Amino acid sequence: MLKIARILICFALYFIMTGCSVNPPPLEFAPDATTIEKAIALQINKKYGVLSTHLGTQKPTIEIEKINIRKIEPSNKFNLPTYHLTGDYLVVTKNNKNKGKKIKNSFTLNLQRQNAGKTWRLLLPDTNSSSDKYFSYQIP
Rounded to whole angstroms, the maximal C-alpha distance in the chain is: 86
Which residues of the chain are modeled with pLDDT < 50? 18-19
Q: Report the distance separating Cα 11 and Cα 102, nearest Å.
A: 60
How many of the other CB atoms lie within 10 Å of CB of 89? Answer: 19
Per-residue pLDDT at 133:
85
Read off the pLDDT of residues 26-36 as tens digits, 9 standing for 90 and up.
777 889 989 99
pTM of the predicted protein model = 0.74
Per-residue pLDDT at 1:
65
Per-residue pLDDT at 26:
73
Per-residue pLDDT at 112:
92
In 3-state terms the chain splits into helix, strand, coil percentages (rounded to 5) of: 30, 40, 30
Per-residue pLDDT at 63:
86
Per-residue pLDDT at 88:
95
Residue among 122, 28, 132, 25 at smallest CA distance from 76: 25
Per-residue pLDDT at 110:
93
Distance set, CA 27 to CA 46, 64, 69, 102 (Å): 27, 23, 13, 31
Considering the chain, what is the average pLDDT of its residues?
81
